[in-house]
């Protein structure tokens, strides 16, 4: 009982037994009990159809002070599909080059094109932006009503896997609840590229994503895309040129 809570984490899973998980108890039934432990990090397995939706528990559950939830599959470098504002995306931890390369190869995407980085707030995107433009970026995010991907001058050490052939990087503060929760629980920015093989139509429905990609990527986050029929608009931060209309 004298162990520093910051040195301990709790792993919650439902066992690897010979049978379906259809009778597993719901996370909502046990989370309050788990929160009584004197620790401040929880690792909750949820990369299967029975539990993939249970991130919703945390929309209605107040977290204890100083609690940290670890989205283990993201921090372990897995690649996954998830709903965004207009389509399903494929992504990974934006600081994991091995995972980013897996995403590019899986899609058959040209390395020169670069990728979009998203987060739930501007702070997680700060390290991607050339320092003198960070405040301008923050002000644009505050003033723009629609979800917008901004093309901004990047820091010199940003991976070419993200920038492609450009000296700039594409970043967005997401407005989609699932994306926000993924970023919050993993405490990281995410790569975001449409869930399709390059040249094919992006997918917008979970069941179609599951049919197309199940077993080909590490996991698929259940959910519904946002209310936008077209991909988010893209605007150059400095010139204000609209590169893609929404």
pLDDT along the chain (246 residues), means of 10: 78 79 87 83 75 76 64 85 95 96 95 96 97 97 94 96 96 93 90 90 92 90 88 95 92
pLDDT of res. 62: 72
pLDDT of res. 65: 64
Residue 203 DSSP class: P
pLDDT of res. 152: 98
pLDDT of res. 233: 95
pLDDT of res. 109: 93
Residues in the chain: 246
What is the Cα–Cα distance from 184 to 149, expressed in whole angstroms?
Answer: 19
Which residues are within 8 A (CB) of 101 and not within 5 positions of it... i.e. 6 or more apart?
161
Residue 212 DSSP class: H
pLDDT of res. 125: 97
Query: Do residues 176 and 226 make contact, with C-beta atoms less than 8 angstroms apart?
Result: yes
């Amino acid at each position: 009982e004298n162990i520093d809570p910051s040195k301990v984490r709790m792993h919650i899973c439902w066992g690897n037994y010979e049978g379906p998980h259809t009778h597993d108890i719901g996370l909502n039934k046990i989370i309050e009990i788990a929160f009584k432990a004197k620790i401040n990090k929880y690792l909750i397995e949820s990369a299967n159809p029975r539990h993939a939706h249970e991130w919703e528990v945390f929309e209605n559950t107040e977290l204890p002070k100083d609690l940290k939830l670890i989205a283990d599959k993201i921090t372990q470098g897995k690649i996954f599909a998830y709903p965004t504002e207009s389509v399903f995306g494929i992504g990974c931890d934006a600081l994991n080059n091995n995972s980013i390369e897996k995403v590019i190869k899986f899609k058959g995407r040209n390395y020169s094109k670069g990728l979009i980085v998203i987060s739930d707030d501007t702070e997680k995107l700060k390290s991607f932006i050339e320092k003198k433009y960070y405040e301008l970026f923050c002000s644009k995010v505050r003033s723009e009503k629609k979800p917008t991907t901004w093309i901004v001058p990047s820091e010199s050490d940003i991976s070419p896997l993200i920038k492609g052939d450009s000296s700039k990087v594409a970043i967005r503060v997401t407005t989609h609840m699932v994306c926000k929760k993924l970023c919050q629980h993993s405490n990281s920015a995410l790569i975001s590229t449409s869930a399709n093989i390059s040249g094919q139509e992006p997918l917008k429905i979970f069941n179609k994503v599951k049919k197309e990609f199940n077993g080909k990527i590490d996991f698929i986050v259940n959910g519904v895309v946002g209310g936008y029929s077209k991909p988010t608009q893209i605007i150059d931060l400095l010139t204000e040129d609209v590169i893609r209309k929404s």
